[in-house]
Amino acid sequence: MTRPVYARLDLQALKNNLAVVRRAAPDSRVWSVVKANAYGHGIERVWNALGATDGFAMLNIEEAILLRERGWKGPILMLEGFFHADDLPLYDKYRLTTSVHSNWQLKAIQNAQLRAPLDIYLKVNSGMNRLGFTPDRVHSVWQQLRAMKNVGDMTLMTHFADADSPQGIDEAMRRVEQAAEGLVCPRSLSNSAATLWHPEAHFDWVRPGIVLYGASPSGRWQDIANSGLKPVMTLGSEIIAVQNLKPGETVGYGSTYRASGPQRIGVVACGYADGYPRIAPHGTPVLVDGVRTGTVGRVSMDMLTVDLTPCPQAGIGTPVELWGRDIKIDDVATCVGTVGYELMCAVAPRVPFITG
Ligand SMILES: *Cc1c(COP(=O)(O)O)cnc(C)c1O
């Protein structure tokens, strides 16, 4: 490796996290959500470690085809369904389960020439107001689909807007009940937050994503600190230069940080072009040689700077953890005003991945 930045994936942690999900929802089957290239981890790198799952859920047809080509024979759920009617031959060929959320899709399924019926996830809008039929329409749509020769097994699905917030899922569950009235239907309702915190919503299949990768659905690590979940990704690098600032000297673009006394600063080979957020403020936590310290100054494209005061032994070549086992991605995200999801999805293609 030339430049020292890397993303290391702990595949044992991934297996552990799937086992944590199974313990949380022991009577449900599990769709492991691997959309967005497995939340930035690389679907190709992680799918085997998740091989004990019951199915994989995603939304890019290319990712689904990749899984089939690598040999996954189990169920694949396309969370947003087909985007155009002429995607359906691929759904047929690769045996993909499709979400159905809009009227136009009914006609498309009706008219498709398929080798065999497709399994369907009928999506009910339980309050998110992105995809899905309103509860009062579900009965009629269900009956229409049920009557089609192109339709195989059917499941009722929703996606919660507030499973990770104090608002909770009571109102959404009421809408699901309204939609399901008079139907005998398997259900898949729970994202990570509902899988951990709302067992009344588990039903037949849960759909965890973020917890598999060891971050919190709420964005707060303390909410999952006792769950047994372990971070999968470590974003790491090394110190490539050291600066000894005199009192009053500044560091980085815009001179946004000024030393109040003499201060040792480490320059780390990682910047926003690697996926580390540029808006990270001074004091965003970083681990240097096993010691917790913080960033100083602005994050630049290829470098960021850290305070070496708590770790005087650190120098050129000293290892740095930007996030991972010790520096929780949720804690970095909180400093930046976002959630771990966004940071892990944004690790740049130029960062080499190491799996182990
Ligand atoms: C992304 C997604 C999930 C997983 O959400 P997490 O919060 O990562 O667990 C589940 N269901 C649907 C429909 C999704 O789009």
Q: What is the CATH number of the domain that holds 240?
A: 2.40.37.10
Q: Whole domain around residue 328: which residue ranges?
A: 233-355
Taking the centre of ligand 1 as the mean of its atom positions, its distance from the CA of residue 319, in whole angstroms, is 34
- Ligand 1 pocket: which of 33, 126, 176, 205 to mutate (most atoms within 8 A of CB): 33
Neighbours of 121 (CB within 10 A): 26
Same domain, 154 and 259: no
Q: Is residue 226, in this structure, part of any structural domain at all? A: no
pLDDT at site 103 = 97
- Ligand 1 pocket: which of 58, 60, 79, 197 to mutate (most atoms within 8 A of CB): 79
Same domain, 17 and 77: yes
Same domain, 203 and 335: no
Q: How far is CA 294 from CA 5, 225, 255, 288, in A?
A: 18, 22, 17, 9
Ligand 1 neighbours by CB, cut-off 6 Å: 33, 35, 79, 159, 191-192, 207-210, 217
CB-based burial, 188-204: b 16+ in 10 Å, e otherwise:
bbbbbbbbbbbeebbbe
pLDDT at site 66 = 97
Nearest to 82 by CA among 98, 65, 101: 98
Q: Is residue 186, in this structure, part of any structural domain at all? A: yes
Q: pLDDT by residue (tens digit) across 222-237?
A: 999 999 999 999 999 9
Same domain, 322 and 287: yes
Domain count, the chain: 2
Same domain, 170 and 30: yes
pTM equals 0.97
- Ligand 1 pocket: which of 28, 60, 121, 191 to mutate (most atoms within 8 A of CB): 191
Nearest to 66 by CA among 30, 94, 33: 94
Ligand 1 atom having least distance to the Cα of 157: 13
Same domain, 184 and 262: no
Same domain, 338 and 255: yes
- Active-site positions? 35, 253
Q: pLDDT by residue (tens digit) across 155-166?
A: 999 999 999 999
pLDDT at site 192 = 98
Binding-site residues from annotation: 130, 301
Same domain, 210 and 152: yes
Same domain, 176 and 281: no
Taking the centre of ligand 1 as the mean of its atom positions, its distance from the CA of residue 141, in whole angstroms, is 24
Ligand 1 atom having least distance to the Cα of 207: 10
Neighbours of 92 (CB within 10 A): 17
Same domain, 275 and 311: yes
Binding-site residues from annotation for substrate: 130, 301
Taking the centre of ligand 1 as the mean of its atom positions, its distance from the CA of residue 191, in whole angstroms, is 5
Residues of the chain where predicted confidence (pLDDT) is lower than 70: 1
Same domain, 35 and 167: yes
Ligand 1 atom having least distance to the Cα of 59: 15
161: CATH:
3.20.20.10
pLDDT at site 1 = 59
